[in-house]
Structure 1
Amino acid sequence: MTADLGALLLADGRLPTGGHAHSAGLEPALVGGLDAGQVPDYIDARLRTVGLVEASAAAAALRTALEEPARLDRVQDELLARTPSAPLRQASELLGRGLARLAWRLWPEHPAVVALHGLGRPPLRPIALGVVGAALGMSAAAVARASLYDDAQTVAAASLKLLPVDPADATSWLLGAASTIEAIVERAVATGPDELPALTAPMVELWSLDHHHSTRRIFVS
């Protein structure tokens, strides 16, 4: 029951981790020329690239947290090597710090939480997500699914503030991504810490650099 409730908890935008301040790159993408009608395609593209990498890292972090928590730094290093944009790394660290703080308040004696705080640097969001999932007793698949859902939902929620979008349409985008999310979950749980995919989304990275230097923005990323 704790694992099932934990999955719902991680999918809740009201979780105090600061996720509401992020748009998953939608804001700079729209400034860069993305059309409102292309948002579902943007969600799909993120899931197949950034989403797959981060979901795989979250699943790997969960398994490492349960088996060898002292080696969480290995998963962190592998993910850092696959995140070339400095602003995207910083955004992930902000979200990871929020999750790490929550974990420390709720499970301060859990070996994985202790290891997470022993990294000596802010954990990236997927690493912290995997540790929280381990503390909640979630499966690797559940954590990967939570990571992917959060990515898609972040875009959908941000669209309501950035575009004239009917909330029902934004919800339909999420439902439309369901089969893609499940297919990626299967791929994510089949990879180990040393086998993380290295897919990139060049335009997302470029837009993140532009957004970082923008003086007029609503979202952090």
Structure 2
Amino acid sequence: METSHRTQSPAPARAALLVLADGRFPAGGHAHSGGAEAAVKAGRIHDAAGLAGFCRGRLHTTGLTAAALAAAAALGLDPLALDEAADARTPSSALRTTGRKLGRQLMRAARATWPSSELDALAAALPKGAHQPVVLGLAARAAGLGPLDAAHCAVYETVSGPATAAVRLLGLDPFEATAVLARLAPDMDQVAERACTAARQGIDALPAASAPLLDITAEQHAAWPVRLFAS
């Protein structure tokens, strides 16, 4: 079924979104905190309120950018050009490395789950890994999902990773962490819609929102001799 012009997928394919967004999907995300580990050490996250603020800021900056890239890939825009756009929007060398590592891991899982010539072609063109949001968008496309689905998956990953990490790092009550995610749901919907709208306007219109503090702490975190999470 052609997916390149859909805003969202028809009902029969929607269950695939649950598989793709499931934290147990073997794409390596569980090993990354999305910057939460560095924020905890710096004292910027120490309770549920701090986690909520961190996640909201991440969602409206790097989350928006990732969601737009994923939506654009799901629409069928050139994945190699999108990968270059992702590189340009990731000033931190550590985060570029992380993005490609996660993309490589997601690629393996996606190709095994939803075989696709487009995924095969991107894997062949970038054997060291494409940026994760680009792979995510192509995986969504291969699964019969649309750009809005891909954007929703990207924004959810943006906040669910730090929330899960905070439970491990702080011993935060899992119920509180889940409540943070639930309360962010309207923001997630808004960001996904904005990302999808931008993707429809082409690569040059994709947002380039960033969070400089996340870039700085990512470089610092990468140099830590001992850490619980890879990023």
Q: Under TM normalisation by the shorter chain, which class is it?
A: over 0.9
CA contact 1:25–1:208 (8 Å) conserved in 2: yes
Residues 73 and 137 of structure 2 are in contact (CA less than 8 Å); yes or no, is this contact kept in structure 1?
Answer: yes
2:123 to 112, 117, 122: 117
Letter in 1 for 2:120: V
Q: Does 1:39 align with 2:51?
A: yes
The residue number in structure 2 matching 1:48 is: 60
Whole-Å separation in 2 of the counterparts to 1:155 and 1:103: 23
Which of 22, 25, 28 is 1:18 aligned to?
Answer: 28
Structure 1: runs of 5 or more not aligned: none
Take 2:179 and 2:96, find their aligned partners in 1: how far apart are those partners? Answer: 30
User: Secondary structure of the residue that 1:157 maps to in structure 2?
Assistant: helix
Tell me the residue number matched to 1:63. 75
Q: Is 1:104 matched up with 2:116? A: no
CA distance in 2 between counterparts of 1:86 and 1:115 reads 25
Aligned-residue sequence identity (percent) comes to: 35
Residues 129-144 of structure 1: pairs in structure 2 closer than 5 A: 129-144=136-151
Q: Deviations over 1:76-120 (max 9, x none)?
A: 101110001011111111111111112222344x23112221323
Q: 1:83 to 1:194 in 2, by over 3 A?
A: same
Measured in 2, the distance between the counterparts of 1:200 and 1:61 equals 20
Cα root mean square deviation, aligned: 1.4
- What are the residue-to-residue correspondences of 1:162-173 with 2, within 5 Å? 162-173=169-180
Q: TM-score, normalised by structure 2?
A: 0.89
Number of equivalent positions: 215
Which aligned segments of 4 or more residues in structure 1 are displaced greater than 4 angstroms?
A: none
Shift of the alpha carbon at 1:125?
Answer: 0.6
TM-score normalised per structure 1: 0.93
